[in-house]
Amino acid sequence: AIILRGLKGAPVKRLQEKLGVDADGIFGGGTEQALKDYQKANGLKVDGIAGPDTFAQMGLYDLVQLRRGSRGSTVKKMQEKLGIDADGKFGSGTEKAVKAYQEENGLKADGIVGPNTLAKLDLFDDSKAKNVLASAADAAEGIWDTIEEAADGALDRVKKMFGF
């Protein structure tokens, strides 16, 4: 996941709180400049976009999500953990390795590295990361169960409506 100018919501508010700016949940020019200053001060790519490397640096581990197209040091670290060529670019080879790892570890093999996969990989050295990711993984599991139940219910209603 990434957060950039124009977005609104709870993740933006959390980012703003970490940056020490007015936490109104709206990513505007002030947030963007504060983020660029943070990125520069911490040796990150200065682009005003909060992505995996920025989230990891800030300790916002539950916002880290890696998928095909992601790039950076967090991707490289994940590739090293998987024992594959670590170039920092999440391409088709990385996606294939992630899916295999997920399958081997009883995770949903979707090729997306979210809280469950990050926790299993033990990607971050920070002890806080384990707790944050475990909580996020539990919450995500509940959300997906709820979404799945809602989708199944909607499908049943559509089938009934059309006589299937």
pLDDT tens digits, one per residue of 93-138: 999 999 999 999 999 999 999 888 988 898 887 767 767 666 766 6
Residues 74 and 120 in one domain: yes
Would you say residue 68 has pLDDT above 60? yes
Q: How far apart are the first and last CA of the chain?
A: 38
Question: Is residue 57, in this structure, part of any structural domain at all?
Answer: no
Query: Distance (Å, rounded) from C-alpha 112 to C-alpha 98?
Result: 8
Question: Is residue 55, in this structure, part of any structural domain at all?
Answer: no
Between CA 37 and CA 43, with CA 38 as vertex, the angle to 5 degrees is 100
Residues 126 and 76 in one domain: yes
- The predicted pLDDT at position 55 comes to 92
Query: Between the CA of residue 109 and those of 22, 99, 100, 137, what are the distances in Å?
Result: 39, 5, 7, 15
53 close to 93: Cβ distance less than 8 angstroms: no
Q: How many domains does the chain have?
A: 2
Q: How sure is the predictor about 162, in pLDDT bands with cuts at 50, 70 and 90? A: confident
Question: Is residue 58, in this structure, part of any structural domain at all?
Answer: no
Question: Is residue 78, in this structure, part of any structural domain at all?
Answer: yes
| Domain span including residue 140 | 65-161
pTM, to two decimals = 0.73
Q: How sure is the predictor about 146, in pLDDT bands with cuts at 50, 70 and 90? A: very low
Question: Is residue 98, in this structure, part of any structural domain at all?
Answer: yes
